Structure 1
Amino acid sequence: MVKRNTKNTGNPNNGYQSSILSFFTPSRKGEITAKNTLQTMDCEIDSSPRNLTPQINMQNNVEVSNCVERLDNLELFSAERSIPTTCETTPTTGTSVKLNPINSSGRRIRKICDDDDDDDDDDEFLIKKICRQSCLYKEDNEINKGIPDLDNLLYEMNDEESNELIINSSIEVNKYSKLGMNLPDIKSLNNDVPKNIDMERDDFNEDEEVARKLLSTTVAQGSQFFREYVELIVQYGRQFSFPPWLQLTKIKDSNGRYPTDPNYNPSTVWVPDSNSKLAKEEKHHFTPAMQQYWELKKDHFDKLVFFKIGKFYELFYIDACLSQRLCDLRWMSGDGKPHVGFPEAALHAYANKLVNYGYRVVVVEQMETPKELEERNKTTSGIKKDKAVKRGVNEFFTNGTLVRPNMLNDMARILMTIYVFSKVNNEAPDNIINEIGIVCVDITTGKSELSILKEIGDHFPMVKTLVTQVQPREVVYLSGNLPLPILRYLKNTTPTIQLTSFRDFMEPILASKDIIEHFQRVNVEIPTIINELCTKSTALCTALSGTLNYLKSILLCDRFILTGNFQQYNPDEKQYLLLDAEALKDLELLQTQQGDEKNSLFGFLKHTSTPGGTRLLRKWLSHPLTNAARINERLDCVEWFINHPDVLFNFCRELKAISSNGRGSPGSNLDLERIINRITTGALQNTRGAIFFVNVIQKKIVDFLTSLETFEKVLECIRSNFGDIELRKSMPTLLLALTGMNNLQCEEKATEPCLGGFLPEISGIIEILRSWFVKDINNEWIPASGNYDLYDLNLSLINETKDKLNAELELISSKLNNTTIKFVHMKYRYEVECPDNIPRSKLPKLEITSSKKGFIRFHTDKIKDLIYELEYREEQLQNSLFPYIQEACKMFHSHFSSFSAISDSLSQLDVLIALSIVSMDTTDGPFCRPTFLEDSGKPVLELTRCRHPVVARLNSGFVDNDIFFNARDVHASCILVTGPNMGGKSTVLRQTCIAVIMAHIGCFVPASKCSLTLVDRIFTRIGAYDSILEAKSTFLVELEETATILKYATRNSLVVVDELGRGTSTFDGTAICVATLEYISHHIQCRCLFSTHLHLLCQEFSEDPSIIAFHMDLKLSQDTKTMTFLYKFVRGICPKSYGMNVAQLAGIPAEVVDKAANLAGEVELCTNILRHIAYVRVLLLNIMDLDPCEAYKLLSLKENKLYKDLNNCSQHKVVV
Structure 2
Amino acid sequence: MQPNTTPMMKQYLSIKEQYPDAILFYRMGDFYEMFFKDAETASRLLEITLTSRNKNHSAPIPMCGIPYRAVQSYIAKLIEMGRKVAICDQVEDPALAKGLVKREVVRVITPGMIIENEFLDAKSNNYVLALYKQGKQFGLSFLDISTGTFRVAESDKIEKIISETLRAAPSEILLPESFKKDSFFELIINSVREKAITFLKDKYFDYNQARASLMEILKTLSLEGFGCEHLKSGIGAAGAVLHYVGETQKQKIEHITSLETYTFNDFMAVDESSCKNLELMENLRTGTRTGTLLEVLDLTVTSMGGRLLREWLRYPLMKIEDINRRLEAVDEARVNTMKTAELRESLKSVYDLERLGSRIVMGHASARDMTALKKSLNMLPGIISLVSGFKSPLFVWEYESDLLHELAILIEKSIREDAPVTINEGKIIKTGYNKELDELIKISRDGKGWLAKLEVQERKSTGINSVKVRFNKVFGYYLEVPKNHSQKVPSHYIRKQTLVNAERYITDELKDFESKVLNAEDRRAALEYEIFNQVRAEVCKYSTQIKNAARYIAHLDCLLNLGCIAVQNDYTRPEINTKGNLIIEDGRHPVIEKMITGERFVPNTISMDDIENQIMIITGPNMAGKSTVLRQAALMAVMAQMGSFVPASYASICLTDKIFTRVGALDNLSQGQSTFMVEMQETANILNNATSKSLVILDEIGRGTSTYDGLSIAWAVAEYLHDLREKGVKTLFATHYHELTELEQHKPRVKNYNIAVKEINDEIIFLRKLVKGGTNRSYGIQVARLAGIPEKVIERSKTILAEIETNAAQSKNLNNVSEQSSYYEKKPVQLDLFAHEAFLTQEIKSLEIAKMAPLEALNFLNKLQEKIKIC
Short-chain TM bin? 0.7 to 0.9
Judged with a 3 Å threshold, the aligned counterparts in structure 2 of structure 1 residues 1023 and 767 are, in CA distance, closer, same or farther, namely closer
1:605 to 297, 307, 313: 297
Query: In the aligned structure 2, how far is the partner of 1:984 from the partner of 1:579?
Result: 23
Judged with a 3 Å threshold, the aligned counterparts in structure 2 of structure 1 residues 338 and 716 are, in CA distance, closer, same or farther, namely same
Q: Map residues 126-165 of structure 1 onto 2, 5 A cutoff.
A: none
2:387 to 716, 719, 722: 722
1:543 Cα offset (Å): 2.2
Q: Deviations over 1:1178-1207 (max 9, x none)?
A: xxxxxxxxxxxxxxxxxxxxxxxxxxxxxx
1:288 Cα offset (Å): 4.4
Query: In the aligned structure 2, how far is the partner of 1:901 from the partner of 1:390?
Result: 41
Q: Confirm or deny: 8 A CA contact 2:53 2:62 kept in the other structure.
A: no
Alignment-mate amino acid for residue 619 of structure 1? E
1:466 Cα offset (Å): 1.3
Judged with a 3 Å threshold, the aligned counterparts in structure 2 of structure 1 residues 642 and 855 are, in CA distance, closer, same or farther, namely farther
| Count of aligned pairs between the two proteins | 798
Q: Confirm or deny: 8 A CA contact 1:327 1:350 kept in the other structure.
A: yes
Mapped pair 1:584 → 2:275: yes
Judged with a 3 Å threshold, the aligned counterparts in structure 2 of structure 1 residues 859 and 1132 are, in CA distance, closer, same or farther, namely farther
Secondary structure of the structure 2 residue equivalent to 1:481: helix
1:1001 to 642, 647, 655: 642
Judged with a 3 Å threshold, the aligned counterparts in structure 2 of structure 1 residues 834 and 421 are, in CA distance, closer, same or farther, namely same
After TM superposition, the structure 1 stretch with the greater mean CA deviation from structure 2, 953-962 or 614-623, is 953-962
Mapped pair 1:481 → 2:179: yes
- RMSD of the TM alignment (CA)? 4.6
Judged with a 3 Å threshold, the aligned counterparts in structure 2 of structure 1 residues 1074 and 515 are, in CA distance, closer, same or farther, namely same
Query: In the aligned structure 1, how far is the partner of 2:282 from the partner of 2:475?
Result: 59
1:314 paired residue number: 33
1:146 paired residue number: none
Secondary structure of the structure 1 residue equivalent to 2:127: strand
1:350 paired residue number: 74
Secondary structure of the structure 2 residue equivalent to 1:608: coil
2:203 to 493, 506, 517: 506
1:1063 Cα offset (Å): 2.9
Alignment-mate amino acid for residue 1113 of structure 1? A
Q: Confirm or deny: 8 A CA contact 1:610 1:907 kept in the other structure.
A: yes
Q: Confirm or deny: 8 A CA contact 1:1115 1:1124 kept in the other structure.
A: yes
Q: Deviations over 1:491-516 (max 9, x none)?
A: 66763x2222x2433176x4423552
1:335 Cα offset (Å): 5.4
Alignment-mate amino acid for residue 165 of structure 2? V
Q: Confirm or deny: 8 A CA contact 2:308 2:554 kept in the other structure.
A: yes
Mapped pair 1:565 → 2:258: yes
2:126 to 398, 414, 417: 414
2:602 to 934, 957, 960: 960
Alignment-mate amino acid for residue 719 of structure 1? I
Q: Deviations over 1:905-949 (max 9, x none)?
A: 211111112212221124xxx42221234x34xx21222221111
Q: Deviations over 1:30-82 (max 9, x none)?
A: xxxxxxxxxxxxxxxxxxxxxxxxxxxxxxxxxxxxxxxxxxxxxxxxxxxxx
1:639 paired residue number: 331
Mapped pair 1:974 → 2:615: yes
1:327 paired residue number: 46
Q: Map residues 258-337 of structure 1 onto 2, 5 A cutoff.
A: 271=1, 278=3, 280=4, 286-330=5-49, 336=55, 337=61
1:468 Cα offset (Å): 2.7
Judged with a 3 Å threshold, the aligned counterparts in structure 2 of structure 1 residues 1176 and 1107 are, in CA distance, closer, same or farther, namely farther
1:952 Cα offset (Å): 1.4
Judged with a 3 Å threshold, the aligned counterparts in structure 2 of structure 1 residues 812 and 344 are, in CA distance, closer, same or farther, namely farther
Query: In the aligned structure 1, how far is the partner of 2:617 from the partner of 2:456?
Result: 102
Structure 2 alignment gaps of length 5 or more = 56-60, 419-425, 809-829, 844-866
Q: Map residues 233-248 of structure 1 onto 2, 5 A cutoff.
A: none
Judged with a 3 Å threshold, the aligned counterparts in structure 2 of structure 1 residues 879 and 1103 are, in CA distance, closer, same or farther, namely same
Alignment-mate amino acid for residue 363 of structure 1? I
User: Identity over aligned residues, as a percent?
Assistant: 24
Secondary structure of the structure 2 residue equivalent to 1:650: helix
1:404 Cα offset (Å): 1.4
Alignment-mate amino acid for residue 1068 of structure 1? D
Judged with a 3 Å threshold, the aligned counterparts in structure 2 of structure 1 residues 785 and 637 are, in CA distance, closer, same or farther, namely closer
2:700 paired residue number: 1059
1:587 Cα offset (Å): 0.6
Query: In the aligned structure 2, how far is the partner of 1:980 from the partner of 1:1128?
Result: 12
Query: In the aligned structure 1, how far is the partner of 2:185 from the partner of 2:414?
Result: 53
Judged with a 3 Å threshold, the aligned counterparts in structure 2 of structure 1 residues 563 and 1172 are, in CA distance, closer, same or farther, namely same
Query: In the aligned structure 1, how far is the partner of 2:594 from the partner of 2:730?
Result: 27
Judged with a 3 Å threshold, the aligned counterparts in structure 2 of structure 1 residues 480 and 367 are, in CA distance, closer, same or farther, namely same
Q: Confirm or deny: 8 A CA contact 1:847 1:858 kept in the other structure.
A: no
Judged with a 3 Å threshold, the aligned counterparts in structure 2 of structure 1 residues 838 and 605 are, in CA distance, closer, same or farther, namely farther
Secondary structure of the structure 2 residue equivalent to 1:1136: coil
Mapped pair 1:623 → 2:623: no
Query: In the aligned structure 1, how far is the partner of 2:798 from the partner of 2:475?
Result: 89
1:1012 paired residue number: 653
Secondary structure of the structure 2 residue equivalent to 1:1085: coil
Q: Deviations over 1:696-748 (max 9, x none)?
A: 9xx845533541342122x123134334xxxx2xx33235415xxx3xxxxxx
2:686 to 1036, 1045, 1060: 1045
Query: In the aligned structure 1, how far is the partner of 2:727 from the partner of 2:505?
Result: 95
Q: Deviations over 1:838-872 (max 9, x none)?
A: 99999974599xxxxx9999999997898678767
TM-score, structure 2 normalization? 0.80
Secondary structure of the structure 2 residue equivalent to 1:921: helix
Query: In the aligned structure 2, how far is the partner of 1:706 from the partner of 1:1099?
Result: 66
Judged with a 3 Å threshold, the aligned counterparts in structure 2 of structure 1 residues 518 and 291 are, in CA distance, closer, same or farther, namely farther
1:444 paired residue number: 146
1:475 Cα offset (Å): 1.2
Secondary structure of the structure 2 residue equivalent to 1:900: helix
Alignment-mate amino acid for residue 271 of structure 2? D
After TM superposition, the structure 1 stretch with the greater mean CA deviation from structure 2, 333-342 or 399-408, is 333-342
Mapped pair 1:737 → 2:403: no
1:672 paired residue number: 353
Alignment-mate amino acid for residue 474 of structure 1? E
TM-score, structure 1 normalization? 0.59
Judged with a 3 Å threshold, the aligned counterparts in structure 2 of structure 1 residues 340 and 827 are, in CA distance, closer, same or farther, namely farther
Q: Confirm or deny: 8 A CA contact 1:401 1:413 kept in the other structure.
A: no
Q: Confirm or deny: 8 A CA contact 1:832 1:857 kept in the other structure.
A: yes
Q: Deviations over 1:184-217 (max 9, x none)?
A: xxxxxxxxxxxxxxxxxxxxxxxxxxxxxxxxxx
2:717 to 1076, 1088, 1095: 1076
Mapped pair 1:941 → 2:639: no
Query: In the aligned structure 1, how far is the partner of 2:28 from the partner of 2:277?
Result: 51
1:1108 Cα offset (Å): 0.8
Q: Confirm or deny: 8 A CA contact 1:488 1:1030 kept in the other structure.
A: no
Judged with a 3 Å threshold, the aligned counterparts in structure 2 of structure 1 residues 291 and 1122 are, in CA distance, closer, same or farther, namely same
Query: In the aligned structure 1, how far is the partner of 2:506 from the partner of 2:299?
Result: 64
Query: In the aligned structure 2, how far is the partner of 1:1140 from the partner of 1:494?
Result: 42
Judged with a 3 Å threshold, the aligned counterparts in structure 2 of structure 1 residues 1140 and 1044 are, in CA distance, closer, same or farther, namely same
1:1005 Cα offset (Å): 1.0
Judged with a 3 Å threshold, the aligned counterparts in structure 2 of structure 1 residues 946 and 770 are, in CA distance, closer, same or farther, namely same
1:1092 paired residue number: 735
Secondary structure of the structure 2 residue equivalent to 1:352: helix
Judged with a 3 Å threshold, the aligned counterparts in structure 2 of structure 1 residues 1027 and 1213 are, in CA distance, closer, same or farther, namely closer
Q: Deviations over 1:534-567 (max 9, x none)?
A: 5432x333323322332232125612x5424311
Q: Confirm or deny: 8 A CA contact 1:1020 1:1057 kept in the other structure.
A: yes
Secondary structure of the structure 2 residue equivalent to 1:997: helix
Query: In the aligned structure 2, how far is the partner of 1:914 from the partner of 1:1061?
Result: 41
Q: Deviations over 1:199-240 (max 9, x none)?
A: xxxxxxxxxxxxxxxxxxxxxxxxxxxxxxxxxxxxxxxxxx
Secondary structure of the structure 1 residue equivalent to 2:282: coil
Alignment-mate amino acid for residue 673 of structure 1? E
After TM superposition, the structure 1 stretch with the greater mean CA deviation from structure 2, 1155-1164 or 1014-1023, is 1155-1164
Secondary structure of the structure 2 residue equivalent to 1:1101: helix
Judged with a 3 Å threshold, the aligned counterparts in structure 2 of structure 1 residues 719 and 1213 are, in CA distance, closer, same or farther, namely closer
Mapped pair 1:781 → 2:419: no
2:64 to 340, 361, 364: 340
Secondary structure of the structure 2 residue equivalent to 1:596: coil
1:623 Cα offset (Å): 1.2
Query: In the aligned structure 2, how far is the partner of 1:527 from the partner of 1:1023?
Result: 49
Mapped pair 1:471 → 2:169: yes
Query: In the aligned structure 2, how far is the partner of 1:1068 from the partner of 1:368?
Result: 74
